[in-house]
Structure 1
């Protein structure tokens, strides 16, 4: 390991320790309202992280990441109502979108569907799930004890109860859980991208045909990366259902899908930290604009997207890093440059 790599590793370790300390200490210095707002920001940051990996490093243009987010939320709600809000319901919320992503990915990748059509298919699947969830308003639409509720959604979702605890998580505990899981997901993806699997995923993104000629199964690597992204998005959906104790078909909406794409573009495709920063910044802006009636929020998001595409096409994180290392190679061309 070179001296620069060693310093970078120590710096990342120190930053990680500070993040963990911040997550653990924040509830002690923050009021409940602000803590709830921070919690949903971190939940959405995890959703942004899932697409940052799938699109930024896997090269898979997915317009339907909201589908896995919504499946995770509904899976947790149904599991928590039927057999309690424990670890089993949490695991179900991760397994269902992961399996769904694997099945969808199998037909897309092994069917040799091009990137443009792949984006269209994932968007269409999200809209199908949105309309399907909206059409389940009758009392006959139930899974076990859980009424799906149609456009009204599923209210009063039990909050997660961790092993060894008799009571569900309070807002402080939920914030800590969300923060720690987000840090774990980020660190896990960074480590994964340094493995042979991660290197092959990036190589497939750069040149799929060359990776196949070198003997790697590009379709399998894309499938596994896609399923992993679905699992992370499902975990975010589970945490979202815990945050609001409610889920409705809006989690599958076109607006939700578009926002995730905007987060990644603004934050910087090809990085892990950038989309999370973009997500938190845009969510804060949307929340601030939500209290006034003068400016349309959707119009502001469109202006922000257009401005970044034209003026800062690389996104926030790569641009800022370029200021400090102008002679460095482009971000994320190899796993060692992962941010």
Structure 2
């Protein structure tokens, strides 16, 4: 058996094993409560997959993924609130009726349609990311400046939501009863939601793997290592970065839309600075340069947060901060750097996607990606 054939068998075997564990074993052995918790962790992992592409391969330290997660979540939550209100014959959701609002705000009306809602979940985060990315990357904003800007955007978005009573203010939107006509109180439907989240996560990992192995993935790595050399080769690094940023936003918005019916609530606390940093912590701990590292790191951190918060609620924040500092300071490659067998992204000729020791995205890399891409281009 040739090496490429054996590699393909290992890859497809890994995807089959993941599908077996998530779609068959987990629903069979976990209680409804624990399955719901795991579904929430998978939503976080879906965000982490996008961050792994943008940060791990592209060198863009995205501290504002909570914005795109929140867009997808609030779009879905508004649709579910409207559907629940119409189910009982009300013109507006109950929290609006209590506040004296008698008709839907204009920006709520389109989301009464399931088709518009699904399209908005799929397209709106990506569109916002495209506009922001073009505005930022065309001006060659990168490194710490991009990180601070994205974090400020997440903070502004959370503050905006707190001040909007038509989106529930600081309480957010909750108490959803149906999901596109399916009763959320039925355990069969909650398991269906978990399977949807698991299937979407597996598909997202496959998508990012394919992007990483493509010519675009090599170009993104080259931009990360030596942006100026890529520009001299005739490519616009801004366009390359925007694509990765849009894909990461798309996955975050999709994760937010799945998070709402699985968890049953979304509020500004789920989309601000702290959640955005939590997404990043999981990616860093798992290993941002690997394919499965962000997934395993996000699930592990979310599980640890739940477990430790139940026992030591006041200490989790400090433990999380200490863990992030230790990983960034001493394990820049995450747990993958300890030799844990987490599959690395591979180029089409088997080269690993390695990030230099210098800060990602600042153009201080060793130029390996750019050199490889230039060699193949010639």
Match of 2:154 among 126, 136, 158: 126
1:50–1:230 CA contact under 8 A, matched in 2 = yes
1:29 corresponding residue in structure 2: 29
Relative to structure 2, which stretch is displaced further, 66-75 or 316-325? 316-325
Deviation at 1:60, TM superposition (A): 1.1
Deviation at 1:94, TM superposition (A): 2.4
1:266–1:308 CA contact under 8 A, matched in 2 = yes
**Aligned counterparts, 1:230-245, within 5 A:** 230-245=249-264
1:59-102 deviation line (CA, Å, top 9, x unaligned): 11111111111111112222443545845423312211111111
- Contiguous gaps of at least 5 residues in structure 2: 83-108, 345-349, 356-368, 373-378
Query: Kindly tell me: are residues 322 and 184 of structure 1, through their superposed partners in 2, closer, same or farther at Cα, counting changes over 3 Å?
Result: closer
Matched, 1:288 2:307: yes
* Distance in structure 1 (CA, Å) of the matches to 2:211 and 2:138: 23
**TM-score in terms of structure 2 length:** 0.78
Structure label with greater radius of gyration: 2
- Contiguous gaps of at least 5 residues in structure 1: 138-146
1:159–1:245 CA contact under 8 A, matched in 2 = no
1:99 corresponding residue in structure 2: 127
* Distance in structure 2 (CA, Å) of the matches to 1:323 and 1:119: 27
2:170 corresponding residue in structure 1: 151
Matched, 1:110 2:138: yes
1:97–1:234 CA contact under 8 A, matched in 2 = yes
2:292–2:343 CA contact under 8 A, matched in 1 = no
Matched, 1:209 2:228: yes
Deviation at 1:305, TM superposition (A): 1.5
* Distance in structure 2 (CA, Å) of the matches to 1:308 and 1:299: 14
Query: Kindly tell me: are residues 110 and 290 of structure 1, through their superposed partners in 2, closer, same or farther at Cα, counting changes over 3 Å?
Result: same
1:278 corresponding residue in structure 2: 297
1:85–1:158 CA contact under 8 A, matched in 2 = no
**TM-score in terms of structure 1 length:** 0.87
| SS of structure 1 residue aligned to 2:141 | coil
* Aligned residue pair count: 319
* Distance in structure 1 (CA, Å) of the matches to 2:114 and 2:321: 40
2:271 corresponding residue in structure 1: 252
RMSD between superposed Cα atoms in Å: 2.5
**Aligned counterparts, 1:1-339, within 5 A:** 3-25=2-24, 26-80=26-80, 81=82, 82=109, 83-84=111-112, 86=114, 88-137=116-165, 147-157=166-176, 159-161=178-180, 167-168=182-183, 170-293=189-312, 296-320=315-339, 331-332=353-354
1:14-66 deviation line (CA, Å, top 9, x unaligned): 11111112222121232111111111111111111111111111111111111
